[in-house]
Amino acid sequence: MPDDDLLVLAPYIRIGVQDRTLFLGFGSIRQAVLDRKLWHPLVRLADHFRHGRTRAEALSFLRVTCDVDESTAQASLLMLEHGHCLIPARAYDPGDRYSRHSLFYTLSGASPEHVQARLEASHVVLIGCGGIGNLVAVTLATAGVGALTLVDADRVETSNLTRQFLFTEADVGSLKCEVLAREIGRRNSECRVRSLPVLVEDRAGLRGLPESDLILLSADSSGLTRLVNSHSVAAGQPWMNACYVNDVAVWGPLVVPGLTGCWDCRTLAASAPEEDPELAALIADVNARYQAPSNGPVNMLASSLAALDALRHLGGFGVPASLNRRMGVWSHELMLDGQSAQRALSCPTCSHVTHES
Q: How far is the CB of 132 from Zn ion (least distance, A)?
A: 24
Q: DSSP for 74-101?
A: HHHHHHHHGGG-EEETT---TTSTTHHH
Q: How far is the CB of 265 from Zn ion (least distance, A)?
A: 4
Provide the phi-psi class of 252: left if phi over 0, else alpha when psi is between -120 and 50, else beta.
left
Q: Which is nearer to Zn ion, 7 or 350 (CB)?
A: 350
Q: Which is nearer to Zn ion, 13 or 227 (CB)?
A: 227
**What is the C-alpha to C-alpha distance for residues 283 and 338, in angstroms, rounded to an integer?**
26
Q: Which is nearer to Zn ion, 146 or 253 (CB)?
A: 253
Task: Mark 76-108 as b/e (b = at least 16 C-beta within 10 Å).
Answer: bbebbeebbbbbeeebbeeeeebeebbbbbbbb
Q: Which is nearer to Zn ion, 6 or 235 (CB)?
A: 235
Q: Which is nearer to Zn ion, 124 or 350 (CB)?
A: 350
Q: Rule CB under 5 A: which residues touch Zn ion? A: 262, 264-265, 347, 349-350
Q: How far is the CB of 328 from Zn ion (least distance, A)?
A: 20
Q: Which is nearer to Zn ion, 184 or 350 (CB)?
A: 350
**Nearby residues of 125 by Cβ (< 8 Å), 6 or more positions away:** 148, 149, 151, 209, 210, 212, 214, 215, 216
**Nearby residues of 357 by Cβ (< 8 Å), 6 or more positions away:** none
Q: DSSP for 122-170?
A: -EEEEE--SHHHHHHHHHHHHHT-SEEEEE---B--GGGTTT-TT--GG
Q: How far is the CB of 239 from Zn ion (least distance, A)?
A: 12
Q: How far is the CB of 97 from Zn ion (least distance, A)?
A: 39
Q: How far is the CB of 8 from Zn ion (least distance, A)?
A: 47
Q: Which is nearer to Zn ion, 181 or 341 (CB)?
A: 341
**Contact by Cβ (8 Å): 84, 9:** no
Rounding to the nearest 10 degrees, give the CA dihedral for residues 24, 26, 327, 179.
Answer: -140
Q: How far is the CB of 256 from Zn ion (least distance, A)?
A: 11
